Structure 1
Amino acid sequence: MGMNEPVPGLAAGAVEGPWYHPTGNEVALFEQCHARGLAVMLKGPTGCGKTRFVEHMAWKLGRPLITVPCHDDLAASDLIGRFLIQHDGTVWQDGPLTRAVREGAICYLDEVVEARQDTVVVLHALTDHRRILPIDKTGEVLQAAPGFQLVISYNPGYQRMLKDLKPSTRQRFVAMDLDFPPPELEARIVQHESGVDQAAANGLVSLAERIRQLRDRGLAEVPSTRLLIAAGTLMASGIPLREACYAAIVSPLSDESSMVDALRDLVDATFV
């Protein structure tokens, strides 16, 4: 989903929204934050369902959703907007954040710490009682429309080793900790999303549980629920079980030969 692709909510006539199975009280907490104009920070490992959760909540609340994948080169102008040169002069084009502020949309900044720090600072005036967005290039000061909400996400386990949000930024958000679901629930999610039977879903989750124990033994990233769904999707389409696991789980996790061999052994031991 690109930064210029809003996801329609109920107001746009959606009948069935993105499927999400709660693991705690995150739905009620998000609803209360939205009703009171509080910004939300989602913390959790890669592939645990943060993006799907935001998509589901936008649908449930009937708000359009604008998603921005953050990266090292993301500048403030990429969020706010810029002047474009046309044949008859220059014209201002709103960025995704400005569009969300004007339209009362939910703006979701995915992996926000990947963005430059000077870019993150432009969010501050939107995350307190002012709820404004100053646009220096046009002289406008936008008041956030009703329904606007700022949501950010990041992976604290990964980012802590590289970079992190400043305390002055973190304390502007209500933080919600998301993690991989309990095994029984994760198996139901894998079964629902991929189409495999219950036994296969249970096996994939059991494999993930074993691999996740290697987090501090040379494995930088552990298998996400997203990877399990990918493996299940391959299996449901006719790819042999082990081949699906090798392609969708083992290979994405490591290139180091001894670790790959260990992961393959876990696959073979799980699906005997």
Structure 2
Amino acid sequence: MSDIIQQYRIEKEPYYRPVSDEVELYEAAYSVRMPMMLKGPTGCGKTRFVEHMAWKLGKPLITVACNEDMTASDLVGRFLLDAQGTRWQDGPLALGARFGAIVYLDEVVEARQDTTVVIHPLTDNRRVLPLEKKGELVHAHPDFQLVISYNPGYQSLMKDLKQSTKQRFGGLDFNYPDHAIETEIVAHETGVNAEVAGKLVSIAERARNLKGHGLDEGISTRMLIYAGSLIATGVDPVKACRVALVRPITDDPDMRDALDAAVTTFF
């Protein structure tokens, strides 16, 4: 395997706590190389899940953070000029297709629709990637798989995947885990005890109930891990929660007061 792709191998097992049968379903999907779509709120574990599965399957993982300025060339590749003249550089899709990596397009709907259509030939029975500028047709390596993710809560009619794209993927729904599992995750990731982790989860659950009632998004599991990590270093829990949970998600004074009150209820 090319040295270029070796850097994308995950050497150490990423911690992931299964919530349901998502691990078994993903393994089955990978066995038939089905492209997969992961849907769920921000910070609920989608990226960690993909990292864990890539490690479990022993495959390199190439992650692309999608954005509205991303072009098809950013995904496929382009010619570059250097001291020796012009050379071709594969983009992440071409690299993954050549060498059998899992390519993960995170928040794929942030990319323009005219950019995301380049994935179509890779996500049906053809499993090819045309490099039109280079005049090459890359046949996907047998181990190649494409995975995309997005947060349905952020979608509008202007920002959504085409049906012609959606129907090329299998789908897994993700959400924040139930109280006991999320407490276990926070305790494991931060080193705080189960009591402190449970209090952090309770604060998050209150905030999530405010989604759509003053908050665009609730407190994520990722944010709880930030707060727990601060507490584990000796930061006062109330201050840690203000820094990691309350201040990042809202600037509204009344909402901040409500969330601060929830923090002081538990700490």
- TM-score, length basis structure 2: 0.96
Amino acid of the residue matched to residue 8 of structure 1?
R
Alignment of 1:40-79 (within 5 A): 40-79=36-75
Alignment of 1:48-197 (within 5 A): 48-160=44-156, 163-197=159-193
Q: C-alpha displacement at 1:6, in angstroms?
A: 4.6
- Report Cα offsets for 1:116-170 as digits up to 9, x if no partner: 1111000001111110000100111111001100000000011237511111111
Distance 2:140 2:84 in 1: 31
Q: Could you tell me which residue of structure 1 aligns to residue 20 of structure 2?
A: 24
Unmatched runs of 5 consecutive residues or more in structure 2: none
> How many residues are matched?
263
Matched, 1:264 2:265: no
Aligned to 2:248, the other structure's residue is in SS state helix
Q: Report which stretch shifted further, 157-166 or 244-253.
A: 157-166
Unmatched runs of 5 consecutive residues or more in structure 1: none
Aligned to 2:146, the other structure's residue is in SS state strand
Q: C-alpha displacement at 1:7, in angstroms?
A: 3.2
RMSD of the alignment, in Å?
A: 1.3
Q: Report which stretch shifted further, 158-167 or 88-97.
A: 158-167
Q: Could you tell me which residue of structure 1 aligns to residue 8 of structure 2?
A: 7
Distance 2:127 2:38 in 1: 20
Amino acid of the residue matched to residue 94 of structure 1?
D
- TM-score, length basis structure 1: 0.94
Percent of pairs with identical residues = 56
- Report Cα offsets for 1:186-218 as digits up to 9, x if no partner: 000000001101110010001111111101211
Distance 2:230 2:41 in 1: 23
Q: 1:128 to 1:91 in 2, by over 3 A?
A: same
Distance 1:17 1:162 in 2: 38
Q: 1:117 to 1:6 in 2, by over 3 A?
A: farther
Aligned to 1:128, the other structure's residue is in SS state coil
Aligned to 1:83, the other structure's residue is in SS state strand
